Amino acid sequence: MSDVYTPEFDPETGVPLRKVRSFVLREGRLTKGQERALGELWPHFGVDYRAQALDAAILFERTAPLVLEIGYGMGASLLTMAQAEPEKNFLGIEVHTPGVGALLMGIEEKSLKNVRTLHHDAIEVLENMLPEASVDRVQLYFPDPWHKKRHHKRRIVQPAFVALLVRKLKPGGLLHFATDWQPYAAWMLEVLRAEPALVNVSLTGDYVEQPAWRPDTKFEARGERLGHGVWDLLFQR
């Protein structure tokens, strides 16, 4: 996935230091198709950032379970999931402009009605737009592992971030993380286990088999080529 936000956290409190923006809206080079999609399809499937609560029932023109994906990259897996689960609403957050354009193209190509996207910082969206206890499933697939120890503070999976996600989950809602970097998987597991409001769904107390709803991604294929495994974590509020 592309970077959605790369936080800095207070080392003592774990609170994200939000006043200095720590991500960049990544413009990239747009194809003609992506540029057209952003111009023509955004008014129909894009959600402008506003610091006010989002009403999913109004946005999707129906009441249905809400799945939030943070950092969908070019959108291929999000589109596959939305097509496979038409009874659910899917809201994606991405900062990479070509990825947003590609998702919009896919929505049109597949004639999907259950996908919307934001092009903004995930933390601001979570804090200011998503009501408490409004999301049925949160997905975070293959975030940047920030391999070097001195960069671990930039990892998106931190105690304060997980606590924020928990607030947005409905009771019984799921957090589904996946990574192809084993040290980051162990980090995620430690952070998730430490959150008292969450229960690990794994029967072995660590990782789960790839859930049926998560399709293989290019990151997974790359990891397999490099001899990496993939670790799925599934926790329930």
Scanning the structure block, which residue is given the tokens 């397999």?
A: 224
Q: Which helix (H) or strand (E) holds 166?
A: helix 159-168
Task: Respond yes or no: is residue 144 known to be catalytic.
Answer: yes
Contact 145, 174 (CB under 8 A): no
Report the sign of the C-alpha dihedral through residues 172, 178, 181, 182, in that order.
positive
Task: Show the tokens assigned to 158.
Answer: 């931190």
What are the CA-CA distances from residue 105 to residues 66, 85, 141, 219 (Å)? 22, 19, 21, 21
Residues 144, 180, 216, 232: which is the catalytic one? 144
Contact 141, 219 (CB under 8 A): yes
Residues labelled catalytic: 144
